[in-house]
Every structure is written in C-alpha cells, then in structure tokens.
C-alpha cells in the first residue's frame, strides 16, 4: 500500500475479534511495516515521535495484526494494522489508552 490511511475509530474497531492474543514474542514478520511508518508525519497525529514496537496483538479470528508503536506519550501508541490474509498494511490509528480505556500512567 503506497498511500497512508488514518483509520477512523469504527474502522479500527472492526479489526478486533476476541480474544486478542499478544504475539509480540513470536517469531516471524508478516509484513515489513517500516516503509509505511517512514511515510507517516507524526505532526499529523499531534505527536512528535513514532518509536519502536511496543506490542503486537492478533485478533481472535487471525485476520489482523495490530502493531503498537511507542510515542512520546505514556499509554499512547500509533497502531499499524496489518491484514494477514492480504499481507498488507491497511492503515494506522492513534490509540490513547488513557482516553479509550481509562488506563492511568500512574501505578
């Protein structure tokens, strides 16, 4: 995919199917996301930095991988969504766990 698609909340939510499985530690990369990531402008997402992989989650139907990338904000990630069937990046989403799920950065 040459263009970049910012997924709406509804589009992003359609990429979920319980149970979500943490596959961060598994070997093998389905799609090299980095050329897609390199084309993103962090300023368009109101962040200044897109970092390394924090986690990778696979939906319960093994349709999508969600690759969470660190940003400069605690509990805020750029999520690259990979379509496993077509082996392609379908888009990205800015996920703020504090806003979406009430996750606090304080312990």
pLDDT tens per residue, range 59-104:
999 999 999 999 999 999 999 999 999 999 999 999 998 766 665 5
Q: What is the pTM of this model?
A: 0.89
Whether 12 shows a pLDDT value over 90: the answer reads: yes
Report the distance separating Cα 61 and Cα 18, nearest Å. Answer: 8
Q: Taking the domains of the chain in order of start, what are their residue ranges?
A: 9-52+60-101
Strand partners, 65: 58, 82
Q: What is the mean pLDDT of residues 30-58?
A: 95
3-state secondary structure 21-36: EECCCCCCCCCCCHHH
Residues with Cβ within 8 Å of 41's Cβ and at least 6 positions away in sequence, in order, are none
- pLDDT value for 78: 98
- Residue 48, pLDDT > 70, answer yes
The phi, psi pair for 55, rounded to 5°, reads -155, 160
Residue 25 CB coordination number (10 Å): 7
């Amino acid at each position: 995919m040459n263009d970049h698609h910012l997924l709406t909340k509804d589009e992003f939510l359609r990429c979920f199917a319980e149970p979500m499985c943490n596959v961060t530690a598994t070997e093998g990369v389905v799609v090299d996301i980095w050329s897609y990531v390199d084309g993103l402008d962090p300023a368009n997402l109101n962040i200044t930095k897109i970092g390394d992989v924090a986690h990778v989650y696979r939906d319960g139907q093994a349709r999508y991988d969600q690759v969470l990338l660190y940003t400069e904000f605690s509990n805020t990630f750029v999520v690259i969504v990979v379509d496993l069937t077509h082996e392609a990046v379908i888009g990205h989403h800015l996920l703020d766990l504090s806003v979406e799920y009430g996750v606090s950065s304080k312990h």
